[in-house]
Amino acid sequence: MPELPEVETTVGRIRPKLVRRHIAGIECSWRRTLCGSPATAARVLRGARIEAVGRRGKFVRIDTVRADATRVAVLIHLRMSGRLEVQPSSFARPAHTRLCVALDGGDELRFVDARKFGRVWVTREPEAVLGRVGVEPLSDGFTPDLLRCLLAGRSRVIKSVLLDQAVVAGLGNIYVDESLFRARLHPRMRSDRLSRRQCERLHRAIQSALRDGIAANGASIDWVYPGGSMQDRFAVYGRGGQPCPACQTAVVRMVVAQRGTHICPRCQRIRTGFSRGHRSTRNRRALRSNS
């Protein structure tokens, strides 16, 4: 938290306030927030013009160009509690403001991060930071066949694979749980055991869950990320003990891949056997022992 829909919403909110603005300076009040020297970051960014604001996975990416045509990127990972605000410098800074980028006209881009886990990079080589980020799940390149290939190449529980940012970018605990419910898949299923049809269902589920999250301006489940309404549309996440919207069975909370996980035990059963009449390994062993 925040995940892809929340980061995408953040980008959409700050982009109009930043593009074509010039950077006057940078100030870091919590040293670990900035990966690198604050003095170097201030020198490199001073006078640069912001050309674009976008998202890559869970990263906010701000692309700038200096007067000498050097391109410098500012990469921001919000982690657990980070948020970005553009406000006049005359306004009091919120508590837990860790970094400020001064803009022409007297505004500031403020990075507020109560838990201090967020990170900011100022770099001429953004791919050095982003190079291992996986495929964008809302891109044209994310196809059911690609998803099947990514899953088949890993022998892990499906939830663990989907949480891996080097596989699919931007998914976190919330939207993985919601996607698996929509696809009617148990989070403990082995990723390399999914059929083509299951992969197609999961592909549709991931994209629909993320698009619904973006349309709702993300999910606001605590004080960290305000303004979203996706939490009102959750089917299973955070709804332990409440009825499944599809079958009314009580939603169950368990731990999968070391993360709190919510499922409907009826809609998301683990299928131990193989399709089209193939027996499970356990059944085959039982038949041999009785013969």
Instruction: Report the distance separating Cα 104 and Cα 124, nearest Å.
Output: 22
Buried b (16+ CB within 10 A) or exposed e, 204-234: ebbeebbeebbebbbbbeeebbeebebbeeb
Q: Which of 17, 46, 188, 259 is catalytic?
A: 259
- Identify the residue whose tokens are 């698996």: 180
Instruction: Report the distance separating Cα 62 and Cα 45, nearest Å.
Output: 11
Determine whether 3 is an active site residue. yes
Q: Which of 3, 8, 85, 178 is catalytic?
A: 3
Q: Which of 2, 126, 137, 187 is catalytic?
A: 2
State whether residue 258 is helix, strand or coil. Answer: coil
Report the DSSP beta bridge partners of residue 100: 27, 110
Q: Which of 58, 98, 182, 239 is catalytic?
A: 58
DSSP codes joined into one string, 52-108: EEEEETTEEEEEEE-TTS-EEEEEEE-TTTEEEEEEETTSPPPTTEEEEEEETTSEE
Determine whether 58 is an active site residue. yes
Task: Kindly give the pairing relationship between strand 107-113 and strand 23-28.
Answer: unpaired
Active site amino acids:
2-3, 58, 259
